Amino acid sequence: MMKKLLLLLLAASVLTGCAKSSNINDRSDAHGEPHFYGLNARVYGDGLTYSAGGTSYCLDFETMEKMPLCARPNCTHTSSSCLAINAKNGVIHDGYVYYFTSYYGPEETKEGKPVFKMDSKLMRASLETSEIELVCSFTDSIPHSEETLVIDGDTLYFNAYDPAPDMDKAGGISYSNGEGYAYLCSVDLNSGEYTNYGVICCEEDYDGRKSARVYMIGADNGRIYMDYQFTKDETGSFTHYNFEFDLESKEYSRGQLPAGICADKGVYVWLDDADDELHVVTNGKDNVISYVNYSNSGTVFNNKLFVAGNWIDLSDMTMHRLAANKSVVAYYNGSYITNENNRFEKLTEEELLALDN
């Protein structure tokens, strides 16, 4: 009888998905800074969300159990009406999961001439019911929702772009996927008000900005830090600049440091790939570390910088081994949450140190 009861409880926990996370207040981290949602895994309070095989899941840090991101009883998580199928790259905030949808491309008009249209939406669903509703829609940009996001208070910030389509003499429309005019945008999650803060550009009279893209590397000290990339010549090679967005003044500025891979908890990190050097800037000092790997992201937890299969002790800037494809995505109750191809593991301090042997 006891075994049967345990099986019923387990089934109930799977069917209700992440509903228990609805009480999490994850408006900001312990430092009062904006909450940065990194690549692939979206960390909130005591768990994270991620997508795999077309389905979105949440992982509970306490139990390390994964569940489909859906609270509908008896849902099979296979139909198009299921939240776990709809909510790609979702972020959990204040009892809801938020996610973007977008459509863009040429459309025929009654006059027979095609026009380029964009239709983007921010959706949300209650973690308790999985009922989906529209927060806002906008037609001037396409969100880079698969990359990085920031929530400051109740405002969601995200990078987006306009593909800058060109029409040839025959009326055909060509455009790029993922690049064009690069923007930072926001949505007030209470009112649904959408704001586009304009083109991020370092050379206003240069048409190469039509081939730009941008993504956030972190949020710290009241600023969002972004890696702005654009082509300067016909070779197609990218130039990278560090752009910052002041969350109080709502203005862009060109950063003095090179484009980075991480900005968090008073640490700014940039990679000199040509000279195999990692620059870790903290407390006004540029610490240069020999580094032969490539990385476009990093995380800071418990005074350690985790980057591309390694970690750096920020107290003495020594390099330590993690594992080739393993990354640390969170620090919870004295343990490190690692991710390796969507296989999550919880490591104690001793287990983390043992990987360096």
Handedness of CA 24, 265, 33, 224 (dihedral sign): negative
Of 96, 94, 185, 158, residue with least CA distance to 133: 96
Give dist(CA 98, CA 124) in Å, integer.
4
Report the amino acid identity of residue 25: N
The yes-or-no verdict on residue 29 having pLDDT over 70 is no
pLDDT at 15 over 50: no
Percent pLDDT > 90 in the chain is 60
315-335 average pLDDT score: 93
Percent share of the chain, pLDDT over 70:
87
Q: What is the pLDDT of residues 66-106, one digit of tens each?
A: 999 999 998 999 888 899 999 988 999 999 999 999 998 88
What local confidence, expressed as pLDDT, does residue 13 receive?
38
CA nearest to 86, candidates 75, 96, 76, 100: 100
Instruction: Return the domain boundaries, the chain.
Output: 2-167+176-205, 268-357
* 203-245 pLDDT per residue, tens: 665 666 778 889 999 999 999 999 998 877 666 677 889 999 9
Are the C-beta atoms of 152 and 91 separated by less than 8 Å? Answer: no
Residue 4 has pLDDT above 60, yes or no: no
Enter the pTM of the model: 0.88
Mean pLDDT of all residues in the chain? Answer: 85
Decide: helix, strand or coil at residue 82: coil
Residue range 325-329: average pLDDT? 90
